[in-house]
Amino acid sequence: MKLPISWLNDFVDIKNITIDELKTKLFDIGFEVEAIIDVGREISNVVVGQIEKIEKHQNSDHLQICILNCGHFGQQIQIVTGAQNVFVGAKVPVALNGATLSNGVKIKNGKLRGVDSNGMLCSGTELGIDENFFDGAGVDGILILPQSTEIGLDIKSVIGLNDFIFDLSITANRPDCQSILGIAREVASAFNLKLKEPETDYMLLLQQKPAKFSNNLTVNINANAKEKCLRYISTVLQNVKIEKSPIWLRQRLLLCDIIPKNNVVDLTNYILLELGQPMHAFDYSQIENKTIQVRVANHQEQIVTLDNKNQSLINSDLVICDGIKPIALAGIMGGANSEILDSTQTVVFETATFTREGIRKTSRRLGLSSNSSLRYEKGVDVYTTGLASKRALFLAQKLQIGEITDFYYDSFECLENNQLLKQKQIEVPITKINQLLGIEIPKKDIIDILNRLNFKIEEQNDKLIATVPLYRNDISIYQDLAEEIIRMYGYSNIKSTLMEKCSITQGGLSNYQKLRNSVKNILVAQGMYEIKTFSFYSEKQLDNFKIDVNAKERKVIKILNPINEDLTIMRRLLAPSMVDIISKNLKRGVDNSRLFELANIYIPKTIPLQDFPEERPILCLSAFGDNENFYTLKGCVEAVLERLNLQAEYQSFEQNSLPLFLHPYQSAKILVNEQEVGYIGTIAYDVLEKYDIEKPVYIAEIDYDLIIEKFNNNFQVVPVSKFHNIERDLSFVVPENLISGEIEKIIKQSAKYLSKVILFDVYKGEQVEKGKKSLTYHLTFTPKFEEELTHEEVDKQIQKILKNLKEKLQITIRE
Amino acid sequence: METKINLLKEKLNQELKNINDSKSLYSLQSSYLGKTGEISLMMRELGKVDKEERPKLGQIINQLKEWAISKFFNASQTIKLNELLSRYKNEEIDVTLPAKSQKYGSLHPITLVTNELLDIFTGLGFYVYEGPEIENDYYCFTALNLPKDHPARDMQDTFYLSEDLLLRVQTSAGQIRAMEQNKPPLKVVVPGRVYRIDDLDSTHSPMFHQMEGLVIDKHVTLCDLKGVLEILAKKMFGEESKTRLRPSFFPFTEPSVEVDVTCCGCGGKGCKICKNTGWIEVLGAGMVHPNVIKNAGLDPEIYSGFAFGVGLERIAILKYGIKDLKWLYENDVRFLSQFKI
């Protein structure tokens, strides 16, 4: 919110407070000053001068030599100007030697066609202002100042540039502070200064009975609108002269980024800024049947708003109608049909409390917002509505915009709806406030702070009864009071304690959480980098991965309001995110690495989603580049399983279950205890092509919880024998297409004492016949506890192995 | 005889000089001390000598034998040492060649920050609850005292998956669930992914990480909140860090505060990172709103508590000097590989 300091000064005398003090105090009580704007920061050394004499320049047709009286800055300053609108006696802005102007222009003494020119006469543009900001600033030529202007004054004080603006951030609970008055109240409380309430007594100003108008307008609020319109006030101004607003008012609007329009519209905007109450002005002559009605819109009812757009309404929108048709979209924008025009003679002011929810809904639906709707969305209170309607009349009278009439419709009076104007009371023992804060704030300080904040305080023994100001809808429980007290008393008074009065709790990570850290660390030890990718992607990623339209990975949760077409579905497969990251790394020249991600997939029970879906953590591992191969990644998978004391089996996919994004001959299902827990494989080349990847990529996904469930950390040690192990090597020549897993399985099934089988050599070549390969296994036999294992026993076991291999696979030992 | 012995000694000395490997040494040793070796033969010939001379001569030959044994022993020591040295020499390598060990990877900075925070809070008696990322309106908003017309519920901020289900916009959604599952005294942190409608840029991301903290007990104060967060600041940003509370607003806490920590870039003097204020905003916190306690089925007249929510990206950015939030989601290995901590 923009806060011109000069305007703030209307309500609280801050002349003795520096900008920095003000900023710090506002910050301490909850209002962050995001920026301080020095309005005239670009302008320096420009003063008011009067032209004493004008001579023609000898060497130029258009240049004139002016002699200026700038008071104590010099009474005979010679300046050459090209402007034609200067005249003897004119008061003008004079940029002296060393002056700076708008856009960083610097002025130095010099010569113009041989004649000394000790400065420059300035136009409005050169001072960074326009006709809206100051009369005469828009003319083509020098800014001619009013004759009453004092010679030698700093131009900034003359044209309204000697001001500061605070850009404040206001938290959502303080709509009452979205105005100059609101901040003034806070400043007054914080510095313990007196607040000058805005003047509203227009009757006093008027000093006579207002003009009669009463029977010329009827206002009513339809029952169906009462929920969205809490208060509605109409007033009427007649014999209005539509013209420009005075400079000071225009300047205040401009400092707050509102462009002046005419005195009536400017007045409503002025009230909006000053009190935080949006207002609207109708041209009475356009109101048919002399009736104003507030009601919900009919389905598909049409209105052309002030921006000349046709809006089609629904019955949750609120409209202001005359006897026939809608004339405004309540709280958002007036209708073009009742706009204030230069010809307007009678104005009907609307000051109303519309609920923020109602305004937001309509504003969002239509994509239509205004200063008014933005303000309503923050929240307007019924008290301010009453205050603002009177303040508007006061200013209208003061500015002589028109003639105040006796017409004053207030829905509160008609509806006797005044419980909204009844002040809330909060009862609280002082001890409760201090218990919540943890420090002892003396009672008198508490009462003093609340009084300064406009709470009325009654003491009852140790209890306080606080009556809440009407504009503070955010206060309803004692905790709210505690916050008011501590922010004024100072958060720096809060000490640090460590839950001294709390019970001891055990805390700590669960076994599941500890194990997860351990698993991640195992992967890091395998040279893997952990990545984090978004939980959502698009169907296109699934297309790239050739996921079948009927596959489960397509049964995904859709985001109803995605930000863009790339983030539309909650993923059920991590691989596309992984491959995307690999592609980006390769493009940046990282051509070998290992990555992993442990993240959830989201499995809907129904589509469209009705119930909470299942969120399952999946471990996705990958390796890419020429230094990697299927087995290096398999090693990473095994490292995790080893950590969990699990053994996996790898089974090729059946023809119809092979995921199409995998290499058909370098891919497998991973099984643990005969349950499928994931897959591993080389990414298919046509998939890689979609990601512009030319290096091989290996990937595995494991259902993390499935393997964790199988981990048993509640084990008892198996005693070991003091006798030594016996090791044997066995070589076989087998058909090339026979997979090692088959042989290993039979070896393991056949022998006792066998603790380890490791394939350590695979040979294809001259030494074995074509179509065959040689496999060599290293077998370790381990004796049982307190037993010795003999070579004879091991020989017996080897014989069993060889027998079974011959019977089941028709393979024999290599001689 | 003596001459013969002296000659033999001289010969042995000469022959030993030419030996420089254990194999030749062994055969030389055999030629003197072996069964048919010269000294052994001399011993055997002793029988042929006169009885009177036999003991004396025997002693001499024995001395010769012992002399030879020690000679060979010494020679073998030297040769073994030389052989070892030359073997080492032959096996000389270039120690500056690259290592062959498996390179170490690293954890993602968000994981590192999470782990560090969990370490701090588990040490203070907090347990770790991980709630669902897909939440319903009740847990994410209603139960947290966000009224129906609160701006945060707007489609503008929240990804909706159905009328009721949505991607949680804050880990605060875990507060009510944690309170429902465990009765007070309760100390819990809830780390995890959260989602908001924001395009990815240097300070925003549609998905990011938060950690919620919640303490519910009979006598919890705002001072306790400050004490706990001060520990967080000191452990995360150094012992000399200071903490400042200032007023703020969250619907689920009252009073609500913003917590600032002295800038880690300048120690509070003012620099570019803190925009010359000396302070950096790190998290939002407050005393749990009685409506929230009520919504969890507890009596706010008996129980009070504090809660805080910290953005983990923000902590990572401050702690590691990450200048652009996007880096955390680009997953560039050249970036990730720096986090060996």
Chain A residues lying within 8 Å of B228, measured CB to CB: 498-499
Task: Classify residue A454: in a domain, yes or no.
Answer: yes
**C-alpha–C-alpha distance, residues A106 and A100, integer Å:** 5
Q: Pull the structure tokens for residue B157.
A: 């901020």
- How far apart, in Å, do the first and last CA atoms of chain B sit? 81
B21 three-state secondary structure: coil
Q: Cβ–Cβ of B332/A584 closer than 8 Å? A: yes
Whether residues A141 and A265 share a domain: the answer is no
| Per-residue pLDDT tens digits for A348-369 | 999 999 999 999 999 989 999 9
**C-alpha–C-alpha distance, residues B157 and A379, integer Å:** 19
Whether residues A476 and A524 share a domain: the answer is no
Q: Cβ–Cβ of B199/A509 closer than 8 Å? A: no
If one counts every other C-beta atom within 10 angstroms of the C-beta of residue A673, the result is 13
Residue entry with tokens 């105090």? A25
For the residues B270-274, what does the mean pLDDT come to?
A: 84
Run of H or E including A5? helix A5-11
* pLDDT at residue B48, rounded to an integer: 82
**C-alpha–C-alpha distance, residues A538 and A541, integer Å:** 6
- Search chain B and give the residue with CA nearest A596: B107
* pLDDT at residue B148, rounded to an integer: 75
* pLDDT at residue B265, rounded to an integer: 79
Out of B122, B206, B332, closest to residue A567 by CB: B206
Strand order in the sheet with B253-262: B127-128, B186-195, B207-217, B304-311, B279-288, B253-262, B243-250
Residues 6+ apart with CB under 8 A from A553: A542, A545, A547, A572, A573
CA torsion angle for A40, A46, A51, A53 (degrees, to 10)? -150
Residues of the domain holding A97: 44-159
Whether residues A571 and A447 share a domain: the answer is no
- What one-letter code names the amino acid at B71? K
Q: Pull the structure tokens for residue A256.
A: 């707050």
Q: Does the structure show a pLDDT above 60 at A577?
A: yes
Tell me the angle at which helices A443-452 and A430-437 cross, rounded to the nearest 10 degrees. Answer: 90
Q: Cβ–Cβ of B185/A503 closer than 8 Å? A: yes
Q: Does the structure show a pLDDT above 60 at A415?
A: no
| Per-residue pLDDT tens digits for B150-182 | 765 665 689 999 999 999 999 999 999 999 999
Top residue of A486, A489, A505 to mutate, by most chain B CBs within 10 Å, is A505
Chain A residues lying within 8 Å of B193, measured CB to CB: 535, 600
Instruction: Read off the pLDDT band of A304 (50, 70, 90).
Output: very high
- CA angle, A488 then A493 then A495, to 5°: 140
Q: Cβ–Cβ of B127/A558 closer than 8 Å? A: no
* pLDDT at residue B42, rounded to an integer: 84
Out of A505, A527, A530, closest to residue B108 by CB: A530
B253 three-state secondary structure: strand
Chain A residues lying within 8 Å of B194, measured CB to CB: none
Compute the mean pLDDT over every residue in chain A, rounded to the nearest whole number: 94
Task: Classify residue A502: in a domain, yes or no.
Answer: no
Instruction: Read off the pLDDT band of B268 (50, 70, 90).
Output: confident
B202 three-state secondary structure: coil
Chain B residues lying within 8 Å of A507, measured CB to CB: 121-127, 187
- Search chain A and give the residue with CA nearest B332: A585
* pLDDT at residue A800, rounded to an integer: 95
Q: Cβ–Cβ of B255/A590 closer than 8 Å? A: no
| Per-residue pLDDT tens digits for A159-192 | 999 999 999 999 989 999 999 999 999 999 999 9
Instruction: Read off the pLDDT band of A216 (50, 70, 90).
Output: very high
> Is the distance from CB of A525 to CB of A639 less than 8 angstroms?
yes
**C-alpha–C-alpha distance, residues A624 and A653, integer Å:** 22
Q: Pull the structure tokens for residue A193.
A: 């200064």
Phi, psi of A457 (to 5 degrees): -115, 130
pTM for this entry: 0.87
- Choose the CATH number for B109-336 among 3.20.20.220, 3.90.1150.10, 3.30.930.10, 3.30.1330.40: 3.30.930.10
Q: β-strand A675-683 against A662-672: which pairing, if any?
A: antiparallel
Chain A residues lying within 8 Å of B110, measured CB to CB: 532
| Per-residue pLDDT tens digits for A651-669 | 999 988 999 999 999 999 9
Q: Does the structure show a pLDDT above 60 at A417?
A: no
Out of B127, B136, B167, closest to residue A508 by CB: B127
| A142 CA to centre of own chain | 46
Chain B residues lying within 8 Å of A439, measured CB to CB: 223
Percent of chain A at pLDDT exceeding 90? 91
* pLDDT at residue B171, rounded to an integer: 95
Out of B104, B134, B187, closest to residue A524 by CB: B104
* pLDDT at residue A768, rounded to an integer: 87
| A805 CA to centre of own chain | 68
Whether residues A550 and A681 share a domain: the answer is yes
If one counts every other C-beta atom within 10 angstroms of the C-beta of residue A558, the result is 16
Task: Classify residue A500: in a domain, yes or no.
Answer: no
For the residues A402-423, what does the mean pLDDT come to?
A: 82
| Per-residue pLDDT tens digits for A4-19 | 999 999 999 999 999 9
- C-alpha dist (Å) from residue A491 to A23, A66, A255, A629, A717: 16, 61, 33, 60, 58
Residue B24's closest CA among B66, B90, B75, B89? B75
Q: Cβ–Cβ of A529/B336 closer than 8 Å? A: yes
Phi, psi of A72 (to 5 degrees): -75, -5
> Is the distance from CB of B120 to CB of B235 less than 8 angstroms?
yes
Q: Whats the size of chain B, residue-wise? A: 341
Chain A residues lying within 8 Å of B154, measured CB to CB: 360, 364
Out of A495, A528, A533, closest to residue B223 by CB: A495
**Runs of H (alpha helix) within chain B:** 2-17, 22-33, 38-45, 54-90, 109-123, 137-140, 173-181, 222-237, 290-295, 312-320, 327-330, 333-336
Could you tell me the CATH number of the domain that includes residue A747? 3.30.70.380
* pLDDT at residue B97, rounded to an integer: 83
Q: Pull the structure tokens for residue B82.
A: 């030389």
| Per-residue pLDDT tens digits for A618-655 | 999 999 999 999 999 999 999 999 999 999 999 999 98
Query: Can the peptide bond before residue A469 be classed as cis, meaning omega within 30 degrees of 0?
Result: no
CA distance A673 to chain B (A): 28
For the residues A570-585, what does the mean pLDDT come to?
A: 98
* pLDDT at residue A554, rounded to an integer: 95
| Per-residue pLDDT tens digits for A700-741 | 999 999 999 999 888 889 899 999 999 999 999 999 989 999
Top residue of B188, B246, B262 to mutate, by most chain A CBs within 10 Å, is B246
Residue A133's closest CA among A143, A141, A142? A143
- CA angle, A540 then A542 then A543, to 5°: 60
CA distance A159 to chain B (A): 32
> Is the distance from CB of A141 to CB of A125 less than 8 angstroms?
no
Chain B residues lying within 8 Å of A513, measured CB to CB: 128
Task: Classify residue A400: in a domain, yes or no.
Answer: yes
* pLDDT at residue B154, rounded to an integer: 63
Out of A496, A510, A615, closest to residue B133 by CB: A615
Could you tell me the CATH number of the domain that includes residue A27? 3.30.56.10
Q: Does the structure show a pLDDT above 80 at A35?
A: yes
CA distance A295 to chain B (A): 21
Top residue of A25, A497, A581 to mutate, by most chain B CBs within 10 Å, is A497
Whether residues A532 and A471 share a domain: the answer is no
Chain B residues lying within 8 Å of A582, measured CB to CB: none
For the residues A517-538, what does the mean pLDDT come to?
A: 97
Whether residues A433 and A538 share a domain: the answer is no
Residue B306's closest CA among B232, B239, B235? B232
| Per-residue pLDDT tens digits for B74-119 | 999 999 999 989 989 998 888 888 877 778 999 999 999 999 999 9
- C-alpha dist (Å) from residue B18 to A369, A408, B27, B28: 108, 132, 13, 11
Chain A residues lying within 8 Å of B332, measured CB to CB: 584-585, 588, 590
> Is the distance from CB of A527 to CB of B102 less than 8 angstroms?
yes
Residues 6+ apart with CB under 8 A from A127: A43, A46, A93, A101, A102, A137, A143, A155, A159, A161
**C-alpha–C-alpha distance, residues A494 and B247, integer Å:** 12
**Runs of H (alpha helix) within A667-717:** 685-690, 704-710
- C-alpha dist (Å) from residue A779 to A641, A797, B248, B253: 21, 11, 69, 66
Q: How buried is B164 (Cβ within 10 angstroms: 0-12 exposed, 13-18 middle, 19+ buried)? A: middle
* Residue that is last in its domain, among A710, A741, A770: A710
Run of H or E including A791? helix A791-809
Whether residues A301 and A358 share a domain: the answer is yes
CA distance A26 to chain B (A): 10
| B123 CA to centre of own chain | 18
- Write b or e for each residue in A27-51: b if 16 or more Cβ atoms lie within 10 A of its Cβ, otherwise e: ebbbbbbeeeeebbeebbbbbbbbb
> Is the distance from CB of A60 to CB of A115 less than 8 angstroms?
no
**Runs of H (alpha helix) within A563-629:** 575-587
Question: What does DSSP assign to residue A80?
Answer: E
> Is the distance from CB of A275 to CB of A198 less than 8 angstroms?
yes
**C-alpha–C-alpha distance, residues B334 and A390, integer Å:** 66
Domain boundary assignment for chain B: 2-90, 109-336
Chain A residues lying within 8 Å of B254, measured CB to CB: 477, 479-480, 482-483
Whether residues A327 and A306 share a domain: the answer is yes
Q: Cβ–Cβ of B185/A505 closer than 8 Å? A: yes
Out of A499, A502, A532, closest to residue B108 by CB: A532
Q: Does the structure show a pLDDT above 90 at A91?
A: yes
Whether residues A216 and A296 share a domain: the answer is yes
Top residue of A494, A517, A560 to mutate, by most chain B CBs within 10 Å, is A494
* pLDDT at residue A427, rounded to an integer: 95
* pLDDT at residue B40, rounded to an integer: 86
- Count of structural domains within chain A: 6
CA distance A746 to chain B (A): 33
Q: Cβ–Cβ of A525/B257 closer than 8 Å? A: no
CA distance A664 to chain B (A): 29
Task: Classify residue A504: in a domain, yes or no.
Answer: no
Out of A172, A437, A595, closest to residue B221 by CB: A437
CA torsion angle for A425, A430, A436, A442 (degrees, to 10)? 130
CA distance A395 to chain B (A): 34
Cβ contacts below 8 Å, chain A against chain B, sum to 253
Out of B193, B219, B226, closest to residue A494 by CB: B226
CA distance A601 to chain B (A): 10
Handedness of CA A208, A212, A213, A218 (dihedral sign): positive
> Is the distance from CB of B167 to CB of B106 less than 8 angstroms?
no
Question: What does DSSP assign to residue B184?
Answer: S
Handedness of CA A567, A568, A571, A576 (dihedral sign): negative
- C-alpha dist (Å) from residue A804 to A496, A751, A782, A811: 75, 10, 21, 9
Whether residues A797 and A656 share a domain: the answer is no
Task: Classify residue A496: in a domain, yes or no.
Answer: no
| Per-residue pLDDT tens digits for B213-264 | 999 999 999 999 999 999 999 999 999 999 999 999 999 999 999 999 998 8
* pLDDT at residue B49, rounded to an integer: 80
For the residues A454-483, what does the mean pLDDT come to?
A: 95
**C-alpha–C-alpha distance, residues A693 and B3, integer Å:** 90
Q: Cβ–Cβ of A494/B245 closer than 8 Å? A: yes
Residue B48's closest CA among B31, B61, B67? B61
Q: Does the structure show a pLDDT above 80 at A463?
A: yes
Asked casually if ipTM beats, i.e. exceeds, 0.90, the reply is no
